[in-house]
Amino acid sequence: MLEEIAATRYVTPLREGGSLPGVMEADDLGTYAVKFRGAGQGRRVLVAEVLCAELARRLGFRTPELKVIDVDPQLGAREPDEEIQDLLKASAGRNLAVDFLPGALGFEPLAWPPDPALASRLLWFDALIHNVDRSWRNPNLLLWHGDVWLIDHGAALWFHHNWRTADPQRGFDSGDHVLAPFATEMAAADAELSELITPDLLDAVTGEVPGEWLEDEPGFADAQAVRRAYAEHLLARAHGPRAWLPEPAAGPPQDRREQKTGSIGTFWKGAR
């Protein structure tokens, strides 16, 4: 189970996020990007965040630490924006805290051409979890201390908004994926990562989700049954037919060769 902490201050909204996450401080003296239960599509988004980030971590990707944060809506009392007031009121109680990475930059493949092995492993992972939210427009990857960090998995596992549509063989459209042009080693990524997806691993991952976010799911007896359904879906996808596996890119994009010499700093100066 994720560690439980309590929020002590609402610092500021992260306005670039569609779901209006906020930066909050907590009683463990940490600072977090908080994703609220009362936003948009509700608690299932938080379930996807936990399942995918905890799976990513166990497959060797970097992703910020997650905790469950208790939010008292009074903490937003001085926040003038009514939308934020309403969001906090609708989110009283348990929400998701994502360790805030100070000074992280948004990932940009022109400034930081990714290694083909990493690109292939990440495309494989996003295809596994049906993640439609890693496009070049909005990569949901951060560059921090020279590494790529995965964030924002709320849109993945989208079949859970209507469990009858869950299909472990469903194809994955990688046309918009930010790293698809660099993913030249899909077969190697598939061989390496599919082996790691075991019942024990999925028990550990699904066990991290607070029961409260899984209770009263239509069609399921209890939270444990929902955990089992996620695990069975991912096991079937990882070990069944490979119709969902994206084709590898033919080779790295040619016109990027010159840009490889540019540093991240040069890129950001140029962008201003």
- Quick check: 63 binds Mg ion (CB under 5 A)? no
| Cβ–Cβ < 8 Å for 88, 35 | no
Nearer to ligand ATP, 159 or 220 (CB): 159
Q: Is 33 in the site for ligand ATP (CB under 6 A)?
A: yes
With respect to Mg ion, which residue has the nearer C-beta, 12 or 165? 12
The count of C-alpha atoms lying within 13 angstroms of the C-alpha of 126, restricted to the half-sphere facing its C-beta, is 32
Is the dihedral angle over the CA atoms 95, 96, 102, 103 positive or is it negative? Answer: negative
Q: Which stretch binds Mg ion (CB under 5 A): 28-36, 132-140, 162-170, 206-214?
A: 132-140
Interaction of residue 190 with Mg ion, rule CB under 5 A: no
Say which entry of ligand ATP, Mg ion, none residue 120 contacts (CB below 5 to 8 A, set by partner kind): none
Cβ 200 to Mg ion, closest distance in Å? 31
Please list, in sequence order, all residues whose beta carbon lies within 8 angstroms of the beta carbon of residue 224, skipping any fewer than 6 positions away.
none
Q: Which of 81, 56, 67 is nearest to 7 (CA)?
A: 67
Partner whose binding site includes residue 114, from Mg ion, ligand ATP, none (CB under 5 to 8 Å by kind): none
**Beta-bridge mates of residue 177:** 135
Taking CB under 6 A as the criterion, the residue among 8, 11, 13, 14 binding ligand ATP is: 14
Q: Does 126 bind ligand ATP (CB under 6 A)?
A: no
Smallest gap from Cβ 171 to ligand ATP, in A, equals 23
Q: Is the dihedral of CA 134, 135, 139, 140 positive or negative?
A: negative
The reply to whether 131 sits near Mg ion by the rule CB under 5 A is no
Strand partners for 58: none
Q: Residues 18, 60, 211, 270: which binds ligand ATP (CB under 6 A)?
A: 18
CB under 6 A: which stretch of 84-92, 96-104, 171-179, 223-231 binds ligand ATP? 96-104
Shortest Å, Cβ 21 to ligand ATP: 5
Burial of 146 (0-12, 13-18, 19+ CB in 10 A): exposed
Binding status of residue 152 toward Mg ion by CB under 5 A: yes
- Closest separation in Å from C-beta 35 to ligand ATP: 6
Q: Which of 95, 140, 174, 206 binds ligand ATP (CB under 6 A)?
A: 140
Does 21 help bind ligand ATP (rule: CB under 6 A)? yes
Q: Does 140 bind Mg ion (CB under 5 A)?
A: yes
| Tokens 């990027």 belong to residue | 256
| Residues binding ligand ATP (CB under 6 A) | 14, 16-19, 21, 33, 64, 98-101, 104, 106, 133, 138, 140, 142, 151-152, 154
